[in-house]
Amino acid sequence: MLDFILNLDWGAIWPYIAVGFAAQLVDGALGMAFGVICSTLLVSVMGVAPARASAGVHFVEMFTTGASGISHILHKNVDWKLFSRIAIPGVIGGCTGAYLLASIHTEAARPLVMLYLTVIGFYLFYKALTFSQEHKTRDPKVTVPLGLIGGFLDASGGGGWGPVVTSNLLIQGTDPRKTIGTVNTAEFCLTFAISMTFIMTIGLQAFTVVTGGLLIGGLLAAPLGAYVAKRIEPRRLLFAVSIVLIATSMFSLYKALS
């Protein structure tokens, strides 16, 4: 790892540091978008194979989600009961998705998933418009299937844990700040398991200079997201989550269909 860092071409890596920083800042504050933004860049712009892109992004996220999770814990943004209900099934779904992506092509369902997330984004936007300070949070009823599906889609599509899990928990009436912090913290378990699965199936060839840039930028931004999430009121968080979800999902849908 030290040799890898010392041999980096710093002139070429700065754009990827910027992308990693911006993507992680959004992800840490809103509970989504790092995987989607980075995977879209690697596959659509750089022409990286989906399996290698997903492996590289999850390797980066193994570190950024760890740093982000610690920050959310320190800011008391984590619901530990909810954490256990989504993290374990998320790991199971993630390992399954990583294994299948390394073995077979699983992109056929991606347009449907992106269309679904776009609809969810507009629904959350409506919820933000009608949100009131008297809004009472509710304990989510659907968590285990949500963790399984979110983990599977995240590994097989290169991103999706945050958009799928965060958005659906918010629809069920959970507290926005606690939801974002819990989903971000649980993502560390998910990305660690997915990265180990990719390493065992396709080896270390997915980890490139681009991965190094995303890692540096992501680590620099990771502590800031929890600070931002703690200080934004729930209604504004809902607005921000819905806009990011709509934008990233519609762009991914366009790329999948074009």
Question: pLDDT tens string for the chain (258 positions)?
Answer: 455 555 656 666 777 788 788 778 777 777 667 777 777 666 666 666 666 666 777 778 788 888 888 888 988 889 999 999 999 999 998 888 777 765 655 555 567 666 766 776 787 787 777 766 555 778 888 899 999 988 887 776 656 787 788 888 988 888 888 888 899 899 888 888 877 877 776 666 555 666 778 888 888 887 777 777 777 776 777 777 788 778 877 877 777 677
- Indicate the pTM of the whole model: 0.69
Contact in structure between 187 and 162 (CB atoms under 8 Å): yes
Q: CA angle 64-115-118, nearest 5°?
A: 65
What pLDDT does 1 receive? 47
- What does the alpha-carbon distance between residue 197 and residue 147 come to, in Å, rounded to a whole number? 18
